[in-house]
Amino acid sequence: MPELPEVEVVRAGLAPAVIGATVLAATVLDERALTRHAGTAADFEARLTGASFTGAARRGKFLWLSVDDGAHAVVGHLGMSGQLLLRSAGASPERHERVRLDIAHPEHGELAVVFSDQRTFGSLAIDDLVATADGAPAGWGTDAAVLPSQVAHIARDPLDPAFDDDAWRAALGRKNSAIKRVLLDQSVVSGIGNIYADESLWAARIHPETPAKALSTRAARRLLLEVRAVLEKALAEGGTSFDAQYVNVNGQAGYFAHSLNAYGRTGQPCPRCGRPIVRDAFMNRSSHFCRHCQRIVRVS
């Protein structure tokens, strides 16, 4: 599933093409792409046609395009295989295309924003904008302290300037759950999925099953530093790509997969100690780690 770096790469790619653009036509080809939208496909098409986009923002794995009425936005979640692609006006339909927005930009001319989704777990919706709980800008790409109501329960991500490090440490101290489970909890910290959780825990030398409350203040700070370093490196490399589904708006894959130290390296030597990386079942997925470098800590 796309994580913070993948979604941010998409948002950054969309922003210059959509901000200031007017929607000439909105076409829903598959209503399954509107599972989070409160109205019908016809409602979605009618409300967007003629509207202009004023911003492109992201929090965690959600991104949204604010519209010129100041009260609504098109909020998107890529799910497992969703793609938001920029195409030339009149371009042939994409494979698994679900929604197409034909837009006109004052500088870039006419373009198409295409939502393609093979597995149909992603979604688009027109949603109300609500105030942020802390009064700070809602996320990346915006100075406005408003976000879609569907995103209001999502915590800030570790790269957000308004992320509260002290609140993070306090939250860990209240959690007896495995630290990896906490990293994946989008109400605690957003944008981290299975890949970047494994990579951050490996870098911080923390076993994924260590109870969050068992981490010392020093270990919690070290983990947060490593989370940020992993996410920043992945952003610089365009995200992780294991197949053709994980692409930016131009259809290009990321390259962070070449930098992985733990995830997907079962049986290969740990880059730090040379012992084999192991894979254990975890929440219907897998954890990849080094048993030697990442020793489990129990609550005393």
Which residue in the list 32, 174, 275, 285 is annotated as catalytic?
Answer: 285
Which residue in the list 2, 5, 148, 208 is annotated as catalytic?
Answer: 2
34 burial type by CB count under 10 A (0-12 exposed, 13-18 middle, 19+ buried): buried
Cα separations in angstroms, 37 against 10, 123, 195: 21, 8, 29
CA pair distance 111, 88, nearest whole angstrom: 5
Q: Is 180 a catalytic residue?
A: no
Which residue in the list 3, 6, 199, 226 is annotated as catalytic?
Answer: 3
Q: Is 2 a catalytic residue?
A: yes
Q: Is 61 a catalytic residue?
A: yes
Binding site as annotated, residues for DNA: 96, 119, 175
Collect all residues with Cβ–Cβ distance below 8 Å to 172 and sequence separation of at least 6.
179, 182, 212, 213, 215, 220
Give Dmax over CA atoms of the chain in angstroms: 64
Binding site as annotated, residues: 96, 119, 175
Which residue in the list 11, 58, 59, 61 is annotated as catalytic?
Answer: 61
CA pair distance 283, 189, nearest whole angstrom: 18
Contact 180, 197 (CB under 8 A): yes
Task: Give me the active site residues, please.
Answer: 2-3, 61, 285
